[in-house]
Structure 1
Amino acid sequence: MFKKILVVEDYDSINVGIVTALSEKYSAEIYNTKYCDDAWLKIQNAHLNSSPFDLIITDLSFEQDYREQKLEGGIDLIEVIKANYPDTKIIVYSIENRYIEINTLIEKLKIDAYISKGRNSINELHHAIEHIQSTPNCYLSPDIEDITTTSTALILSDEDLEIISLLSKGYTQQEISAVFKSKSKTISSTSSIEKRIGKLKLSFEAKNTIHLVSIAKDLGLI
């Protein structure tokens, strides 16, 4: 059972709601903060005092206010935690549902659970906490699991996803080619990019690149 939990969430109502729900069910010490920089300081101090947090529950998006922050969001916080304390359990509790972001968190940052904020999210959070104490596999709430297991997502390569992402930002085929060449991608010529976009439009049954980007956004791929 987790002994010390930190909740990182900038909205008071959600922050307090999570803390209250956890306090009613678990006997752990529960702390909370609205800023990623504060969270990182608490985590460091806890380790220095030989009383580390067992579990971090964090949102991804944090609204900026008068306080300047070095860690601007949940991904920045997770990266620094994993770089320094890789065994720390982390649950993402967020409304974000973009496939690229979720896949990065699961595959590269090795988070332990991803809960989508919604009507049943507190119950899902309890399920996640129970799950990650006994199972190494990442726990996903049902709607997030649908996104990560969709056949469309599975057949897309990292290059495909990056092409769609760059198209959504207004990049031309020539500009995408330049970006890929700077990264020494195997697919980097303008003609190769054009062919790949053509295949993507066929796969998604998109009429044009704008339609392709729109479909990808609807599916949560970007």
Structure 2
Amino acid sequence: MLLYIFNYRSIMHRSLLLLCFVFTSYISFAQTTFNPETESDFVKATYSKGNLLTILSQDLIYPEDAAMNGTQGDVTFLLKIDKEGKLVSSVPKERVSDELANQAEVAIGKLTADWKPSKVHGEAVDREYLLVFSYKIFYNSLPVDYHAMAKKFEDKEKPEKAVRTYDDAIKNYPFEPVYYSMRAKYKNEIGDSEGAQADKLMAEKLNMEILAVVEIAQSQSVR
């Protein structure tokens, strides 16, 4: 699930430099072992003091210097929560910039209470999760509603275009499981059962291994 923290800024640029970010932590994370049969009775850890996304997003705004410099991308941390419900480690996996990473680290530092630990087959277990802070800048635009776009193609009986819509969604939001689930639906409709199954498994994997995705968005008017 994405939580948007949206800010607006008007700036003037003569040109825009398009930056390509390689999600190395995502690639390595997506290749970890996943066995849906052994993890079918899995319960994700939850924070005892309330909604995790709400707590993480408190006081988060897009850093001014980062916004002016066009710095954006994902900041990821690997959190380990033990079977006693303690957050025992928080290891940075990807740092787009120190400024963005430091802000995310401060947010994680607020998680001082205990957790309800992960469970497999009813037994509490140690578990590692990926926590994602996704910083994005939208120039002269707002975030795309991919679900609405795909629904329009569905209404026009064009599922192949709905698949391409979710291709774009996953390219921009690779950690969001619902996009894989929706792409699986439309892949089934066009007869790509193998691709649909792969997307379904990826959605299940992300649901179990991503603790949360916090989206910090900045809208900038470029003239």
Q: Same fold (TM over 0.5)?
A: no
Structure 1 or 2, whichever has the larger Rg, is 1
Bigger fraction of residues in strand? 2
Greater RCO (CA < 8 Å, at least 6 residues apart): 2
TM-score norm. by structure 1 comes to 0.21
TM-score norm. by structure 2 comes to 0.21
